[in-house]
Amino acid sequence: MKSNTTFLALAAVVVGALAVPTMSFAQKKPATKKPAPKAAAVTYKTVGPTITKTCAGCHTGAAGKAGLDLSTYAGIMKGNKEGKIVMAGNPAKSMLCTVLHGKPKLMPPKHAVDAKTIAVVEAWVKGGAKEK
Ligand code: HEC
């Protein structure tokens, strides 16, 4: 049984010799850094249903008030014959947002929307008014 024992001892040394570099490699491997999670961008997918619910009652299709169709992404981005109401990246210049603050004050009282809705609409415009 002596040769067997020798073989086992040798095997242990070999395994050990292999294991050491493997382990040190594993230790040297830089800790994989996960990128900080980004806040999910607001897209039309997120904000669309809110705009539809709040605005499309009066602004839908060709007969929409002020010539605006706020029931679709294309309609919102198109604006009306007076121009665009969304300046991607710039809520302060986007009528879609400013009307929510009563500017211009042509809005019937029903334009009043809660702060949370205003915030999400503005975040969407600020983020580039992306469809998806
Ligand atoms: C109760 C009906 C009604 C609802 C609901 C409504 N609007 Fe209006 N909106 C109007 C009317 C009427 C006008 C036109 C006022 C005028 O031309 O004097 C108007 C005008 C506008 C204009 C101005 C367009 C321009 O070029 O002058 C914008 C922008 C607008 N609405 C956005 C919205 C948004 C955004 C919502 C949802 C938060 C909304 N509206 C909800 C009735 C409504």
User: pLDDT by residue (tens digit) across 48-105?
Assistant: 999 999 899 999 998 999 999 999 999 999 999 999 999 999 999 999 999 888 877 6
Least confident of 63-67, 111-115, 125-129: 111-115
Among 103, 81, 85, 102, which residue's Cα sits nearest to residue 94? 85
- What does the pLDDT read at residue 31? 63
> Ligand 1 within 6 A of 66 CB?
yes
* Atom number of ligand 1 nearest to Cα 110: 1
What residue's CA is closest to ligand 1, atom 17?
A: 66
pLDDT > 90? residue 129: yes
Q: Cα torsion at 5, 10, 11, 17 (round to 10°)?
A: 150
- What does the pLDDT read at residue 104? 72
pLDDT > 80? residue 29: no
